Amino acid sequence: MLDHVSIGVKSVPASRKFYDAALKPLGYECLDAGDTSAGYGRKAVQLWLGQTDHPVKADERSGLHFCFSADSREAVDAFHKAALRAGGRDNGKPGIRPDYTQPYYAAFVVDPDGYRLEAYCGKKA
């Protein structure tokens, strides 16, 4: 349904350090980089970061988050670890989510700008 999502960040260079590290274990990379924007995806850009003086205020209580597909549970684990090492904050350690449709293995982090991110794998172990 969606072609891509764009989010505003305070600093594209700072955000690139985080997203380059966090998305690499999931097979995503920066496909288009500039001074004030960066686009991530596998074959095409699906997530755009755009530098702005007035990003939307992230609110962890809003329910808004961005979920990235993972090819394996190991990739979910690596996403979580890499995101934390790159300045993200834990928002749910890797594991099975029993309240969700099974199999649902996911991890949650908050990026340096306050956006909530998830990596998800729907494959059985």
Query: pLDDT digits over 12-26, tens only?
Result: 999 999 999 999 999
Rounded to whole angstroms, the Cα distance separating 84 from 40 reads 19
Domain span holding position 12: 5-121
Rg value, the chain, Cα: 14
Cis peptide before 103 (omega within 30 of 0): yes
Q: Is the pLDDT of residue 98 over 80?
A: yes
Q: How far, in Å, are 10, 11, 13, 46, 115 from residue 55 at the CA level? A: 7, 10, 15, 19, 11
For the domain that residue 56 is a member of, what is the CATH number? Answer: 3.10.180.10
Name the one residue in this structure whose structure tokens are 């962890």.
60
Provide the whole-model pTM.
0.94
Domain count, the chain: 1
With beta carbons less than 8 A apart as the criterion, state whether 28 and 20 touch.
no
